[in-house]
Amino acid sequence: MPIDAASWYEQDPHGESFYQGDVVRDVPVVLMPPAGDAPWTLLRPSPPHTVEQVLAGQTPRTLKPHPESSRPDAWRLGAEIVLAKGIKAPAMVVTQTCDLDSRNWIQLAPVFPASKIEDPRKRASLGVNEIGYMFILPADPPRLAEDSYADLSMITAVHKSYLRRGGLVVRLKSPIRALYQRHLANLHGRPFSFNVHDIVPETGPYGCHNCYLRHGRITRAELVEGQPCTACPSCGEEALWIMFGE
């Protein structure tokens, strides 16, 4: 399947509800400071306010920055008001579709332009979607101006209110959403398989994980891209298909 907008995205998605894999616009993401000894900048209120009061929600007149290393009492309360860098970028929904309505906090991966990657070999690997912690998002102007990627190494939690009506940028087609799910599953090292409710992401030979785990049996089938995953000839609807390697 070519990696282009026509293969990747739904043509005219509705924006009433959201799905795993949706790219949404302008979500603020707070970035951790780089690792190191005491890299945080703490914000301390001027008297009469105390850190405890500010943490409880009071607004002080001023907040002064202090390098973490200069304050022996840093994190004394197990919490601090900190200076942090935030970016506002498009972001891709990581949380499973069925959990989006029931959770207050959802996981998103920020989306960046592919041109941000300087190493040409890395950019080429992204071009064929072979980088485990990135998922390619081909350009689809004017919705998505240039080739981009979701950075799955920077998955972050935001309140669900950031999924706003009218905030949808692009929505993956079902077979591509299945590819994205496989990408996420591989990234987190879990065994993964497709069941009879999934769409086959790629034509090829598959084996049934359920037959193997429960009966020590190898059951093979040829599955066809874009078609629903078939039931297993041995275990029927319990089929869990995994693709055989090259």
- Give the nearest distance from C-beta 235 to Zn ion in angstroms: 3
Tokens linked to 25? 């616009």
- Name which position in 91, 93, 211, 223 contacts Zn ion (CB under 5 A): 211
Nearest residue (CB) to Zn ion, 129 versus 210: 210
Nearest residue (CB) to Zn ion, 125 versus 195: 195
- Give the nearest distance from C-beta 214 to Zn ion in angstroms: 8
Dihedral Cα 186, 152, 24, 199, nearest 10 deg: -10
Nearest residue (CB) to Zn ion, 106 versus 239: 239
* Residue 46 near residue 62 (C-beta atoms within 8 A): yes
- Give the nearest distance from C-beta 198 to Zn ion in angstroms: 14
Give the phi and the psi of residue 145 in degrees, each rounded to 5.
-65, -40
Q: What DSSP designation does 32 have?
A: P
Binding residues among 85-144 for Zn ion as defined by CB under 5 A: none
Nearest residue (CB) to Zn ion, 92 versus 243: 243
- Give the nearest distance from C-beta 216 to Zn ion in angstroms: 12
Nearest residue (CB) to Zn ion, 74 versus 235: 235
Q: Is 232 in the site for Zn ion (CB under 5 A)?
A: yes
Residue in the structure block whose two tokens are 């999924």: 163
Distances (CA, A) of 143 to 10, 140, 162, 172: 12, 6, 18, 13
Binding residues among 154-193 for Zn ion as defined by CB under 5 A: none
Q: Is 223 in the site for Zn ion (CB under 5 A)?
A: no
Q: Is 242 in the site for Zn ion (CB under 5 A)?
A: no
Binding residues among 190-209 for Zn ion as defined by CB under 5 A: 208
Piece of 25-33, 88-96, 140-148, 219-227 that binds Zn ion (CB under 5 A): 219-227
- Give the nearest distance from C-beta 227 to Zn ion in angstroms: 17
Residues comprising the chain, all counted? 246
End-to-end CA gap in the chain? 17
- Name which position in 114, 135, 219, 243 contacts Zn ion (CB under 5 A): 219
Distance CA 7, CA 20 (A): 17
- DSSP for 181-216 reads HHHHHHHTT----B-TTSBPSS-EEEEEHHHHHHH-
Half-sphere exposure of 232 (CA within 13 A, CB side): 23
- Give the nearest distance from C-beta 215 to Zn ion in angstroms: 8
**Omega of the bond prior to 113 within 30 degrees of 0, cis?**
no
- Point out which residues bind Zn ion (CB under 5 A): 208, 210-211, 219, 232, 234-235, 239
